[in-house]
């Protein structure tokens, strides 16, 4: 609970003009329809509101339901990020470097096409899962590079190492 001094300081610092400016930032992000812009504006708004210069509730209340929904959609990772995160988690269960390599190839293509960013995928994948996936993907790259005779001798130890990762 805030004490009286904090409440008074909060009321004094909160400026209606700052609230209006924040509202205009949100609307600009919606018009821009760019996820990164929306994320940047969200971070600025958080800093301004946490510092006590603006108040989230009145700003949000002025936005229409449609504007609120549009801004939230811009802040949410795209469905393709959730799909890649799901595929990554599943590939760990398969313990297959080939599957991990195929997913990695698809992911790189989607990133290059601007459909998703690596940060959006990482937001859905736990660090432990990402490390396991990276281990599988690297194991596939090692297998492809090694000579077949060396590969046949190392296959059991590579398989054991990938099992330890997952």
Domain chopping of the chain, boundaries: 4-75, 79-165
Q: Is the pLDDT of residue 24 over 90?
A: yes
Q: Is the pLDDT of residue 44 over 80?
A: yes
Q: Is the pLDDT of residue 138 over 50?
A: yes
Cα(156)–Cα(150) distance, integer angstroms: 11
List of residues 6+ apart from 81 with CB closer than 8 A: 116, 117, 120, 121, 123, 124
Looking at residues 107-112, what average pLDDT do you find?
A: 85
pLDDT digits (tens, 9 = 90+) for 50-88: 988 899 999 999 999 999 999 998 888 778 888 888 888
Task: Tell me the pTM.
Answer: 0.51
Cα(156)–Cα(75) distance, integer angstroms: 45
In the structure, what pLDDT confidence band is assigned to residue 126 with cuts at 50, 70 and 90?
A: low
Give the residue among 166, 73, 83, 154 at the shortest CA–CA distance from 124: 83
Rank 9-23, 43-57, 144-158 by mean pLDDT and report only the highest: 43-57
Instruction: Please report the pLDDT score of residue 110 as a whole number.
Output: 87
Q: Is the pLDDT of residue 3 over 50?
A: no
């Amino acid at each position: 609970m805030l004490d009286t001094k904090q409440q008074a300081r909060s009321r004094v610092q909160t400026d209606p003009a700052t609230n209006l400016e924040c509202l205009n930032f949100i609307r600009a992000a919606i018009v821009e329809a760019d996820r990164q812009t929306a994320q940047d504006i969200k971070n600025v708004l958080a800093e301004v509101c946490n510092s006590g210069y603006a108040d989230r509730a009145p700003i949000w209340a002025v936005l229409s339901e449609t504007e609120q929904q549009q801004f939230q959609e811009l802040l949410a990772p795209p469905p393709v990020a959730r799909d890649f995160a799901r595929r990554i988690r599943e590939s760990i269960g398969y313990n297959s470097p080939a599957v991990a390599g195929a997913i990695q190839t698809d992911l790189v293509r989607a990133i290059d096409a601007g459909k998703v960013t690596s940060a959006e995928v990482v937001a859905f994948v736990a660090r432990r899962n990402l490390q396991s996936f990276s281990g599988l993907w690297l194991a596939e790259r090692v297998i492809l590079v090694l000579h077949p005779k060396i590969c046949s001798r190392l296959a059991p130890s590579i398989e054991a190492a990938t099992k330890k990762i997952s």
